[in-house]
């Protein structure tokens, strides 16, 4: 029996409830394929601020680095919302662990489960067959560039008035663009062989550099993969006008944040979407949705995105593709049988088919 060490980061809000279902499914899948998982829980986000005064305690990073994979639920909540730069914020935990583990690739698959196709606010003929992979650069750009706020006594001559000034820096280096481009081309080779590279090359210097490097990597190393460029504003339109046409979409950190959420919303069921954050060492898996503090502790949260993040873990960290396929099949079967959590219930869902977090986890396990 092979054993993997998993770092569990339940985080805040519904986090602890859904991660328990992820663990349940991971154990069940492991049992079937003669693999054992051992778990170490650690603090990240708001709960870490409350306990240790920082969103990413050293101990958490130590546990994560020593693990074979990290399973995260979600962090944040109104309790810790602040614009005071002196106060710690839950997101710093998320951003900190991404940077510390070098998780430069964020993979966000966007697919429609047939049973939930009508959840989309888009017309059925538009979303039918949507299957794309957003590849978001995760450790560069505006998220990690130099930033500052200060009081400018003389307004720098631009306006008469003195006042506050602030800046953030969008910065990229050649190797950062190269490596994320390779991830996108590799992903495309396992899919429909097409990459859409998104930038704002008509305005940004980083985008012009991005475009040149992506094309060089494509021409030199992946001449078999189709490559197109699309401006970010145009992409925001095309994602909702012809989502089926996208295969792999690769873009920088902030554009990726915006576009991956837009793409997720196309499905109409954010509670079903998982993501993987990969680097050169330990990888991290999490749902695409947030910590939903409004429904925390009530046992009604949808654990399926967390369970599908376990599917991605099996695929990307442990090469257990059969086990991963089993989980996806199980989730599909549970949905096809009509079982729903509150967030994905439909107008015609009978009351006795609406289940809570634990029951949904049990249903998936029973189909494995």
Ligand X SMILES: CC(C)[C@H](C(=O)O)[C@@H](O)C(=O)O
DSSP conformational letter for 147: E
Q: Which does 73 bind (CB under 5 to 8 A by kind): ligand X, a copy of itself, none?
A: none
Reply yes or no on whether 131 is catalytic.
Answer: no
- 201 touches a copy of itself (CB under 8 A): yes
Smallest gap, in angstroms, from Cβ of residue 75 to ligand X?
7
Reply yes or no on whether 200 is catalytic.
Answer: yes
User: Is 298 annotated for ligand binding?
Assistant: yes
Rounded to 5°, the CA angle 57-59-62 comes to 120
Tell me the two tokens of residue 190: 């396992």
The SS3 call for residue 275 is strand
- For ligand X, the binding residues in 189-208 under the rule CB under 6 A are 202-203
Residue length, the chain?
368
DSSP conformational letter for 8: E
Cα-only R_g, the chain = 21
Number of residues counted as binding a copy of itself (CB under 8 A) = 68
Which CB atom, from 106 or from 341, has the smaller least distance to ligand X? 106
Q: How far is CA 146 from the centre of its chain?
A: 24
Do residues 141 and 252 lie in contact, with contact meaning Cβ atoms separated by under 8 Å? yes
- From candidates 27, 65, 68, 91, binder to ligand X by CB under 6 A: 91
Do residues 61 and 26 lie in contact, with contact meaning Cβ atoms separated by under 8 Å? no
User: Is 290 annotated for ligand binding?
Assistant: yes
Smallest gap, in angstroms, from Cβ of residue 207 to ligand X?
11
- For a copy of itself, the binding residues in 257-296 under the rule CB under 8 A are 257-262, 264-266, 268, 270
| Residues ≥6 apart with Cβ < 8 Å to 175 | none
Beta strands 283-287 and 69-74, pairing class? parallel
- 123 touches a copy of itself (CB under 8 A): yes
CA dist., res. 328 & res. 324, Å (int): 6
CA dist., res. 220 & res. 20, Å (int): 45
Which CB atom, from 23 or from 272, has the smaller least distance to a copy of itself? 272
Sign of CA dihedral 324, 330, 333, 339: negative
Reply yes or no on whether 316 is catalytic.
Answer: no
User: Is 233 annotated for ligand binding?
Assistant: yes
Q: Write down the catalytic residue from 245, 261, 343, 362.
A: 261
Which CB atom, from 162 or from 203, has the smaller least distance to ligand X? 203
User: x-or-dash pattern for a copy of itself, window 19-58, by CB under 8 A?
Assistant: ----------------------------------------
User: x-or-dash pattern for a copy of itself, window 75-114, by CB under 8 A?
Assistant: -x------x-x---x-x---x-------------------
Tell me the two tokens of residue 221: 């190393």
Q: What is the largest CA-CA distance in the chain?
A: 72
Smallest gap, in angstroms, from Cβ of residue 134 to a copy of itself?
12
Reply yes or no on whether 229 is catalytic.
Answer: no
Which CB atom, from 166 or from 351, has the smaller least distance to a copy of itself? 166
Do residues 283 and 292 lie in contact, with contact meaning Cβ atoms separated by under 8 Å? no
Reading phi first (left if > 0) and then psi (alpha if -120 to 50, else beta), residue 45 is in left
- 257 touches ligand X (CB under 6 A): yes
The closest of 360, 283, 259, 187 to 275, measured between CA atoms, is 283
- 164 touches a copy of itself (CB under 8 A): yes
State the first-to-last Cα distance of the chain, in angstroms, to the nearest integer: 19
Smallest gap, in angstroms, from Cβ of residue 94 to ligand X?
5
What are the catalytic residues? Answer: 143, 200, 233, 257, 261
Kindly list the residues in this chain that would bind a copy of itself in the complex (CB under 8 A): 76, 83, 85, 89, 91, 95, 121-123, 126, 142-143, 145, 147-149, 152, 155-156, 158-159, 161, 163-175, 200-206, 208-209, 211-213, 232-234, 236-237, 239-241, 254-255, 257-262, 264-266, 268, 270
Kindly list the residues in this chain that would bind ligand X in the complex (CB under 6 A): 91, 94-95, 202-203, 233, 257
Residues tagged in the binding site annotation for NAD(+): 290-302
């Amino acid at each position: 029996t092979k054993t993997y060490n998993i770092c569990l980061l339940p985080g805040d809000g519904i986090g602890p409830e859904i991660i328990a279902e992820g663990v349940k499914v991971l154990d069940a899948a492991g049992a079937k394929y003669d693999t054992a998982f051992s778990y170490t829980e650690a603090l990240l986000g708001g709960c870490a601020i409350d306990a240790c005064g920082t969103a990413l305690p050293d101990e958490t990073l130590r546990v994560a680095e020593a693990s074979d994979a990290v399973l995260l639920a979600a962090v944040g909540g109104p309790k810790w919302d602040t614009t005071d730069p002196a106060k710690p914020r839950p997101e710093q935990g998320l951003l900190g662990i991404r940077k510390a583990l070098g998780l430069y690739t964020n993979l966000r698959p966007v697919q429609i489960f047939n049973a939930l196709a009508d959840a989309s606010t888009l017309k059925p003929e538009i979303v039918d067959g949507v299957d794309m992979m957003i590849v978001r650069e995760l450790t560069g750009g505006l998220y990690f560039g130099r930033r500052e706020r200060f009081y400018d006594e003389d307004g720098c001559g631009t306006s008469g008035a003195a006042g506050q000034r602030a800046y953030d820096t969008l910065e990229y280096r050649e190797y950062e663009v190269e490596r994320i481009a390779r991830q996108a081309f590799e992903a495309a080779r396992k899919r429909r062989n097409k990459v859409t590279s998104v930038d704002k090359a008509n305005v940004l210097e980083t985008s012009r550099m991005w475009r040149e490097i992506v094309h060089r990597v494509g021409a030199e190393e992946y001449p078999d993969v189709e490559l197109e460029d699309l401006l970010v504003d145009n992409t925001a339109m095309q994602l909702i006008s012809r989502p089926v046409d996208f295969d792999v979409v690769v873009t920088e950190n902030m554009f990726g944040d915006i576009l991956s959420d837009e793409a997720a919303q196309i499905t109409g069921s954010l509670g079903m979407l998982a993501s993987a954050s990969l680097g050169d060492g330990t990888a991290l898996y999490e749902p695409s949705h947030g910590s939903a503090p409004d429904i925390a502790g009530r046992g009604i949260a949808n654990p399926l995105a967390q369970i599908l993040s376990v599917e991605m873990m099996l695929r990307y960290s442990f090469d257990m593709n059969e086990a991963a396929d089993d989980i996806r099949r199980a989730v599909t079967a549970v949905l096809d049988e009509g079982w729903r959590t509150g967030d994905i219930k439909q107008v015609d869902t009978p009351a006795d088919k609406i289940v809570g977090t634990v029951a949904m986890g049990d249903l998936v396990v029973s189909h494995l």
